[in-house]
Chain A
Amino acid sequence: GESVGLHLPTLSVQEGDNSIINCAYSNSASDYFIWYKQESGKGPQFIIDIRSNMDKRQGQRVTVLLNKTVKHLSLQIAATQPGDSAVYFCAENRGYQKVTFGIGTKLQVIP
């Protein structure tokens, strides 16, 4: 079936280093892909999205890369900070605001 999933369940990164969180998807019909950050006890928070006709988009300290050939999505966080510690979800959006979430990767930042 159609799904959005993540390669790694937990990622530990030294403070100041760059983080790369990966995601595989199987549905080529998505309009765009989204990354969310979820801190403990809170709801998901939008980070950045990318339309399916793009291959790269940059935000503040974050970059999302989309490789449609291999159906792979990644989130790069530059100069990772302790406040970046959270669970990160990739998700897909196909019409009428319907968002389908993947499993999630826990990012642990080591001071």
Chain B
Amino acid sequence: EAGVAQSPRYKIIEKRQSVAFWCNPISGHATLYWYQQILGQGPKLLIQFQNNGVVDDSQLPKDRFSAERLKGVDSTLKIQPAKLEDSAVYLCASSLGPGTAAYEQYFGPGTRLTVT
């Protein structure tokens, strides 16, 4: 079974520029998550989708971050404009849907963003 795919793997941008990350979840997984992981810390949930609807975006900085999952499959996370403190690894994860346990949440390899 193919895992969660993310691209690009690495991105370097200057502050105030824009950037977008892409995620392709495991086939058939209805729930998709975006996490931000700052170096030395645990991942922090930014947004959770159930199909193409948002379940939780309480920790998403909405003035600069946006995410969409228009067809309920792939998702993009955008930052505009980027700040230095946005330097982090952005992880995408997916799971089957409501009722599944945390161990059934599978993570992609992440995109490492460096803002200079």
Contact = CB atoms under 8 A, between A and B. Distances in A.
Nearest to B9: A41
B108 A43 contact: yes
Interface residues of B, number: 25
Contacts of A43: 4, 91, 93, 106-110
A44 B107 CA distance: 6
Given A42-B109, A43-B93, A98-B45, A103 B40 contact: yes
Contacts of B31: 97
Contacts of B44: 101
Nearest to A6: B42
Interface in B39-56: 40-45, 48, 55-56
Contact of A98 (B40, B48, B91, B103): B48
B41 A91 contact: no
Given A43-B4, A101-B44, A96 B55 contact: yes
Residue in B4, B41, B44, B102 whose Cβ sees the most chain A Cβ within 10 Å: B102
5 contacts: A41-B109, A43-B106, A45-B107, A91-B42, A103-B41
B42 A98 contact: no
Contacts of B109: 41-43
B40 A99 contact: no
Contacts of A45: 107
A49 B93 contact: no
Contacts of A100: 45
Contacts of B4: 43
B61 interface: no
Contacts of A104: 40-42
Contacts of A97: 31, 48, 95, 98, 100-102, 105
